Amino acid sequence: MAEKPTVLVTRKLPDAVEARLQRDFDARLNPDDILYSAEDLVERGAGADALLACPTETLGADVIARLPGSIRAIATYSVGYDHIDLDAAKNRGIIVTNTPGVLTDATAEIAILLMLAAARRAHEGERLVRTGAWRDWSPTAMLGTQVSGKRLGIIGMGRIGATVARMARGFAMEIHYTSASRLPAEAEQGAIFHPQIDDLLAASDFLSLHCPATPETTGLLNAARIARLPAGAIVVNTARGAIVDDDALIDALRSGHVAAAGLDVYAGEPDIHPGYRGLDNVFLLPHVGSATRETRDAMGFRALDNLDAVFAGEDPRDRLV
């Protein structure tokens, strides 16, 4: 019987995913869900054929250079891959894959949740009830922003952005978007394309971010661009924290130019900018866009499908390099 490939798994994964890992591979699991350091990855990866990593591991050029020579592939348990230096992996001949497609609906649901929660002041209202500070119904208490019928601007009309647009049409929202390229007319379904981000911003009562984190998009939503939003706009981010200039957004939230924000991702998470914690007009979630049982299983199975292809001598479906 052929020896099973050895896979170092960096985090505790769902039971169904780990069961398949143990069935098909010599799996080095992390049952205590310890956050591995670079040293841990190097030491625990000795003799391993692949690394099943998560966004919590920063695989920069220095770490990749130190990985054991036996490592043939890195399968990241995520769509985003900004935590991996792809050039360094390519130079070492390491195949890198991700898990696109399977977390679209779950992440889009969180974007809609953030939109509604930020607009209707859910954080403040929930706190009033929990602390006993809610005294009575009042015609002027807890006034928020109505979502229905408003203009929704989407930066990045990929799978998730398009799904958010589909869901938002249920609220009769007018969809505006900008993306690397314009969608075919039948895919737009009436959405209005803006070639320039600045033009999109001016037409966005709500703004939802769905572009990847790249050197070009880092700090994309800066003070100058925030100023182009209509007064009282609401900003939602389920993409990557690096896309937002935190100081600029916090200033806009304090001034009221941005009425509220809903955030699921942050630069430097979990050590988020402390300015957010003191603001009542921000609804904060701990990066749970893909956190459904169905989606987390599907992500693991997609990563394992990619590893199966690598060890079968085939080109994996989701190969990045």
**Domain 6-102+293-311 and domain 104-284 have a common topology:** yes
Summarize the confidence of residues 291-312 as an average pLDDT.
Answer: 98
Length of the chain: 321
Q: Average pLDDT for residues 68-89, to the nearest whole number?
A: 97
17-31 in b/e form (b: 16+ CB < 10 A) is bbebbeeebebbbbe
Instruction: Indicate if the pLDDT at residue 301 is higher than 70.
Output: yes
Mean pLDDT, range 68-75, rounded to an integer: 98
> Looking at the whole model, is its pTM more than 0.85?
yes
* Residues classed as catalytic: 240, 269, 287
Rounded CA-CA distance 298/26 in Å is 21
The DSSP 8-state label assigned to residue 84 in this structure reads B
The dihedral of CA 275, 286, 121, 162: what is its sign?
A: positive
106-130 pLDDT, tens per residue?
999 999 999 999 999 999 999 999 9
Spans of all domains in the chain? 6-102+293-311, 104-284
Q: CATH number of the domain at 104-284, please? A: 3.40.50.720
Q: Say if residue 270 is preceded by a cis peptide, omega within 30 of 0.
A: yes
Residue 293 in tokens: 């049982």
pLDDT for 225-273, tens place per residue?
999 999 999 999 999 999 999 999 999 999 999 999 999 999 999 999 9
Q: In this model, does residue 71 exceed pLDDT 90?
A: yes
Q: At what angle do helices 159-168 and 104-119 cross, to 10 degrees?
A: 50
Q: Which residues pair with 233 in a beta bridge?
A: 258
The answer to whether the Cα torsion of 178, 180, 185, 187 is positive or negative is negative
Instruction: Tell me what percent of the residues of the chain surpass a pLDDT of 70.
Output: 99
Architecture of 6-102+293-311 per CATH?
3-Layer(aba) Sandwich (3.40)
Please state, in angstroms and rounded to a whole number, the distance separating the CA atoms of residues 127 and 116. Answer: 16
Token readout for 179 is: 């993306």
C-beta of residue 164 within 8 angstroms of C-beta of residue 155 = no
**Backbone phi, then psi, for 195, in 5-degree steps?**
-60, -30
Q: Is the pLDDT of residue 43 over 70?
A: yes
Q: What is the pLDDT of residue 38?
A: 97
CA distance linking residue 261 with residue 236, whole number of Å: 6
Rounded Cα distance, 67 and 70, in Å: 8
pLDDT digits (tens, 9 = 90+) for 184-218: 999 999 999 999 999 999 999 999 999 999 999 99
Contact 307, 50 (CB under 8 A): yes
